[in-house]
Amino acid sequence: MSYTGPDFEPPQPRRSPLRRPLTVAVAALVPGALLGWGVYAAVGGSDDGAPGDAGSPAASSAAAEPPTAGKPSPSDSPGDSPSDAAPLKGKVVVIDPGHNPTNFEHASDINRKVNVGTHWKECDTTGTATNAGWPEAKFTLDVAHRLRTLLEERGATVKLTQDGDRAYGPCVDERAHIGNEAHADAAISIHADGSGAGNRGFHVIMPGAVHDGDADTRAIVAPSAQLGESVAGDFARVTGSEPSNYLGDGTGLVTRTDLGGLNLSTVPKVFIECGNMRDSEDVARLTSGSWRQKAAQGMSEGIVSFLRG
């Protein structure tokens, strides 16, 4: 309840005995402060400095601030250590984009037989295609380029068996030799399958034990299995794709002894069939650029995990 009006005057606060001296002191200080600012502006101040400009009060304040909580300073970032920034430095990865977009123009060349250790088979094939005619060879080269970029960003030395720079091939035996001669720490051959409609999903093919003629995979069976398991796990996680429903008993892992690219390899190597180009659900993924980027990312992470042990 308050009492105001002509008949009532609220009590007045008592004057402090220090009030007048303080007023005088403040009045005396104001001219001095203005003079000091004038000297600062003439000597070191910025006439038009936006926040953050050198010499401005905002810049001085920002420079003195510690890193924002939860955001490490550059010197504290774990990514700055050589092992984290380039975990694949010194590692060599060979990427083998399956088939070649112009193989179909060189039927006699790709049909000639080459020795794959256990038997003789065609140099190469044209690969499969979607029902709309988009070829596997273009898919594999696109994913290979994306994968190369990701691996090089992690510090790896990357070599492709072909980069659209050959009239055809290379033949399956040469594809293996390219990885061998590069002394690859890991090699991966990228493909898409051409199975029947309703068959969908990815699978990773690993070499079985072969010791016949020029083929001897015994030393690479175990590390190739580790590479295959690593790639399959990360590929599924990153892409959201399911393992093949028609090969591999739901594991996404298949072992074969009839592929020259594996039989003749002396370095850890796997094939990956990223999906079925004759199944509409898989085709929706395979023909999507954003999904192909995920496919490359999944392969990259699998390879990194394998090479880092």
CA 309 to CA 303: how far, in whole Å? Answer: 10
The C-alpha angle 247, 250, 256, rounded to 5 degrees, equals 40
Helix (H) or strand (E) holding 292, with range, is: helix 289-308
Residue 300: Cβ within 10 Å count:
26
CB 253 within 8 A of CB 228: yes
Structure tokens at 162: 């072909």
Helix (H, G, I), strand (E, B) or coil at 202: strand
DSSP summary character for residue 103: G
CB 255 within 8 A of CB 165: no
DSSP summary character for residue 259: -
CB 234 within 8 A of CB 241: no
Buried b (16+ CB within 10 A) or exposed e, 70-86: eeeeeeeeeeeeeeeee
Structure tokens at 63: 């420079």
To the nearest 10 degrees (0 to 180), the angle between helices 289-308 and 136-153 is: 50
Among residues 136, 229, 273, 301, which one is catalytic?
273
CB 221 within 8 A of CB 253: no
CA 212 to CA 4: how far, in whole Å? Answer: 112
**Chain centre distance of CA 269:** 20
- In sequence order, the β-bridge partners of residue 216 are 211
Residue 122 is a catalytic residue: no
Residues marked as catalytic: 273
